[in-house]
Amino acid sequence: MENCIFCKIAERKIPANILFENEEMLVFRDVNPVAPEHFLFIPKRHIESMDIISGEDSSLIGRILKKLSEFANENGYNKKGYRIVNNMGEDGGQTVFHLHFHLLAGRQFSWPPG
């Protein structure tokens, strides 16, 4: 997808601090972290948001969330807990329209969100 910043990261056209990669997903640090540990989990394939999910996408999303859980456990974030965030659309606060899940850890998060 042209002009999509996360597609460009997936294609290594722009740099990112990448922690994990396989043929279908990528994990990298958020450039503007809002917690001591802030990672983004993305499919390499361009999917705009949770608004448009095919049957094929849903199994990919399941694998991404499984990787997120494994990654959190490997780094010990499960001990104190962590937060998974997906922002969808304008009211959801989505700013990059390539599906991504935030993994936030390293501090206590409040509820309800702002």
Q: Which does residue 96 touch among Zn ion, ligand 5GP, none (CB within 5 to 8 A, set by kind)? A: ligand 5GP
- What is the nearest approach in angstroms of ligand 5GP to the Cβ of residue 31? 3
Per-residue contact string for residues 83-112; x = within reach of Zn ion by CB under 5 A: ---------------x--------------
Nearest one of 32, 29, 49, 33 to 100, comparing CA atoms: 49
Choice from 38, 46, 67, 83 touching Zn ion (CB under 5 A): 46
Please say which residue, 46 or 67, places its beta carbon nearer to Zn ion: 46
Binding site for ligand 5GP (CB under 6 A): 5, 16, 28-32, 87, 93-96
Map tokens 């993994």 to a residue.
103
Amino acid in the structure at residue 60: L
Q: Which helix (H) or strand (E) holds 10?
A: helix 5-10
**Helices and strands (H and E) in the chain: how many:** 4, 5
